[in-house]
Amino acid sequence: GENVGLHLPTLSVQEGDNSIINCAYSNSASDYFIWYKQESGKGPQFIIDIRSNMDKRQGQRVTVLLNKTVKHLSLQIAATQPGDSAVYFCAETWIGNQFYFGTGTSLTVIP
C-alpha cells in the first residue's frame, strides 16, 4: 500500500505486504530528516533518519528514501506487521533549528 503526500492521511495494508508512506517536506534548506512512529497514548518514537547528503538509508525492515529535487521523503516498511499500526510522521530540520513535522499518516495493518 502507498500514501501520497498529505492528501491521504490513512493507509491500510494487509499483514505481510510492504507499506510506503510518503511525505513532502517544505524547506529546501532542510538537511536532516527523521521518521517517527507514534502509537496511541505514546510520544513519537524514532524510526530512522537520513541526512541530505544521502538518498537512501536502510534499517531493520525500514528504508527511507530522500529525493531533494522534489523535496520528497518516503518510508518503506517491509513485511508489515500488526505492531506497525500507528501514525507515522516525517520531520525535517536544518542546522540549529527545531524539527518541523508533517500532518502524519495513520497506518492500519489488516491481519
Partner 1 sequence: EAGVTQFPSHSVIEKGQTVTLRCDPISGHDNLYWYRRVMGKEIKFLLHFVKESKQDESGMPNNRFLAERTGGTYSTLKVQPAELEDSGVYFCASSQDSRSDLGTEAFFGQGTRLTVV
Q: How many CB atoms lie within 10 A of CB 26?
A: 10
Give CA–CA dist 64/80, Å, rounded: 15
Residues in 68-97 that interact with partner 1 by CB under 8 A = 89, 91, 93-97
Residues in 38-67 that interact with partner 1 by CB under 8 A = 41-46, 49, 51
H helix or E strand, kind and range, residue 100: strand 100-101
If one asks whether residue 104 binds partner 1 (CB under 8 A), the answer comes out as yes
Residues found near partner 1 in the complex (CB under 8 A): 31-32, 34, 36, 41-46, 49, 51, 89, 91, 93-104
